Amino acid sequence: MSGGTFVGMPSFPKAAHEAVHNQTLRGNLRHATHTIRAKRANAVAEVSDWAELREAGKQIKDHTLRHLDRYLVQLEESVTAAGGTVHWAADADEANRIVTYLVKATGESEVVKVKSMATQEIGLNEALEAEGINAYETDLAELIVQLGKDRPSHILVPAIHRNRGEIRDIFAREMSEWGRPAPEGLTDTPAELAEAARVHLREKFLRAKVGVSGANFMVAETGTLVVVESEGNGRMCLTLPETLISVVGIEKIVPTWQDLEVFLQTLPRSSTAERMNPYTSTWTGTTDEDGPQTFHLVLIDNGRTDTLADEVGRQALRCIRCSACLNVCPVYERAGGHAYGSVYPGPIGAILSPQLRGTQSEIDASLPYASSLCGACYDVCPVAIDIPEVLVHLRERVVEGGVVTRDGAKVVLKPAKGHAAERAAMRAARWAFGHPGALRTGQRFASRTRRFHPRTLPGPGKAWSETRALPAVPAEPFRDWWQRTHGGKDASK
Amino acid sequence: MRVALFLTCVNDTLYPDTGRAVVKLLTRLGVDVDFPMAQTCCGQAHYNTGYRHQAEPMARHFSDVFGGYEAIVTPSGSCGAMVRELYPRMGERARAEGRGDTLAATLAPVVPKTYELTEFLVDVLGVTDVGAYYPHTVTYHPTCHGLRSLGLGDRPRRLLQSVKGLELKELPGADECCGFGGTFAVKNSDVSAAMGADKVRNAESTGADVLCAADNSCLMHIGGTMTRLRTDMRPVHIAEILASTEEETHA
Ligand code: SF4
């Protein structure tokens, strides 16, 4: 679990295999998700107009996405007017090049970071490191992930897969490599762990001249960026450095300040089950002698406009990264976040990554199947993303191919490899179901040969029957019984 | 009242007892049941695995077979949800793809007339006490499509609570998926099996003899897991419980 990147991931089932059989991981995940699940349900139940808030959030996001071109231009104008500089990045490489250039221009070789999914999506830390720049994560969970040479496994709690004992060991072993070492005799009590992190990080905050952040929202009318967080470390990163570079996905925009009202209610309740975020920081350009004197906003596309071109799939761009869908997902709970092969795990990851990256790789072609379609994610999503609908839509893309938009151009995808046998079976079943006579012949044959049926299956069904016994085929299918009893008029026979 | 039984391909082939139970139960309640012999499959497995275009002729066939009935009753929450939730969507998408209104118009008549069994009993017939007798401890698993797509709510539990001799036990984590999910069970076998095992352990913790649900697909998965884990519990379709009577138990 090292390396920190998700490049070259195996398919979801293979990646999940290990996690399913790792008892510590399963226990950590189960405990954490079940706790937050129950709290979220309570926090949501307190709000009498939750359904309206959810609908409002959905509408605001849909409206914004429909007019994204207009709002992005407005945002650029407002940010520029407030003293900031806007940069546009079409993909990860371009974004990394821009940020690296901006950091180098300051003459610094280290930056402090507030937790940001966008920079993880593009692999910014690795890109900076390659240029001799150290990026220090300051969010507690991110710090744990970074020190553990690990990958994040949850949107909100990237170290959800770690328990207190593991965290203590990571701090004791790694902190000295990065700066101030962990105190002698560190125990695994939350207070001691938090204090160790606080002292370690303070040194970084006071030294850093450059901060890198993401943002939860960007307000087009004023050019304001918004970060919500629980620890206050983000606020330090946003205010102490001389230069602030914010890297944000283009879909994070909302038209007006008033729109925030909806999300500042739904986001905390959905994510941490709190009524309000402990820290909500907003920043608009630069102000003389207060906060960073230089502000850059790097807007990244990286597959987003391609996703926007897809009528069914584009709803994934409404996501406000609350992580509620992860916490209720029974598949996430067993497979863990790493199996999804991206910074976006769980149900949202299963629909977002194959759209942002395309369905060509092994992991991306397998993600739309990483769900039993139970629908729990759709139920909790505060912006009503119909995740099961998008999953089925993407499954169709994987098995049948079709027209998609990549890099702004329409391309025709071939069906993914490895589905030929399944496609043939589906066609055969379809044919039988269109011919009731053939179906009946097949049922009768199965009934007559029932004594010879194996209780485990060969081929792809093998894994199924190893853990679950197959039902025995009955002596007579229902339709034969029905006919024998003359339309079942005398049902007691 | 004359209704069509949409048994589903899984029940027809593997669980004829459930079909016989539905016929017996509805007949007892004075409903005239027909089983249209031309019925096959609603197309759910095709649709959900991504073969949406292949599911379309199946949906059309379903409408041809069932369109003429007053009501269509099915003992399967997920197949019921296929018709009620996804048929309208298939129509909409055909329209969006410029193929006109034909598919939507063909499918529309069956959508509002399709009822899952417990829904039909409670909402259409207006009964919760169906005169059943079942002297066992039972725990109820709501199944995802019954719970979230169809919104069956407490209907099945109200029906079970009215069964004489039956003791109902609350299932911990009832609203969590059992891990079946059609082709998911094969494609993500490890995760599916882990979910099934947790469901069975939760069910066992109730001390019930029987785990009941309104969908044999989920019961097949849960029952198969029970066999492999060697538990003494049995999976039973709710129709079979509601069809049982005192006379036959004592006969
Ligand atoms: S998809 Fe919905 S529930 Fe999941 S993280 Fe995004 S906003 Fe939250």
SS (H, E, C) A244-263: EEEEEEHHHEECCHHHHHHH
A348 lines ligand 1 (CB under 6 A): yes
A129 has pLDDT over 90: yes
Chain A residues lying within 8 Å of B39, measured CB to CB: 436
Degrees to nearest 5, angle at CA B125 with B119 and B128: 70
Q: Cα(B214) to centroid of ligand 1, in Å?
A: 30
What is the DSSP code string of B64-90?
A: HHHTTSSEEEES-HHHHHIIIIIHHHH
Query: Tens digits of per-residue pLDDT, A317-365?
Result: 999 999 999 999 999 999 999 999 999 999 999 999 999 999 989 999 9
Q: How confident is the model at residue B1 (pLDDT cuts 50, 70, 90)?
A: confident
β-bridge partners, A113: A137, A212
- Residues B76 and B67: their CA atoms lie apart, in Å, by 19
When mean pLDDT is compared across A147-161, A178-192, B33-47, the lowest value belongs to A147-161
A471 has pLDDT over 80: no
Q: Report the residue among A54, A314, A323 best suited for mutation to probe ligand 1: largest number of ligand atoms under 8 A from its CB.
A: A323
- A314 and A292 in contact (C-beta within 8 Å)? no
Q: In Å, how far is A290's CA from the nearest CA of chain B?
A: 51
- Residues A470 and B245: their CA atoms lie apart, in Å, by 29
Chain B residues lying within 8 Å of A20, measured CB to CB: 190-191, 194
- Residues A235 and A231: their CA atoms lie apart, in Å, by 9
A64 has pLDDT over 90: yes
A463 has pLDDT over 70: no
Interchain pair A474, B149: CB under 8 A: no
Interchain pair B186, A464: CB under 8 A: yes
The strand pair at B32-34 and B2-5 is best described as parallel
- Residues A392 and A21: their CA atoms lie apart, in Å, by 28
> How many of the other CB atoms lie within 10 Å of CB of B33?
22
A381 lines ligand 1 (CB under 6 A): yes
Q: A-B interface: how many C-beta pairs under 8 angstroms?
A: 201
Q: In Å, how far is A122's CA from the nearest CA of chain B?
A: 28
What pLDDT is stored for residue A488 in this prediction? 47
Degrees to nearest 5, angle at CA A144 with A173 and A331: 125
Q: How confident is the model at residue A423 (pLDDT cuts 50, 70, 90)?
A: confident
Nearest CA to ligand 1 atom 7: A319
- Residues B53 and A369: their CA atoms lie apart, in Å, by 18
The mean per-residue pLDDT over the stretch A282-290 comes to 94
What percent of chain B stands above pLDDT 90?
88
Residues contacting A339, CB < 8 A, separation 6+: A12, A15, A16, A19, A345, A370
Query: What tokens does A234 get?
Result: 């983000």
Q: How confident is the model at residue A493 (pLDDT cuts 50, 70, 90)?
A: very low
Query: Tens digits of per-residue pLDDT, B144-184?
Result: 999 999 999 999 999 999 999 999 999 999 999 999 998 89
pTM confidence score: 0.92
The mean per-residue pLDDT over the stretch B178-203 comes to 94
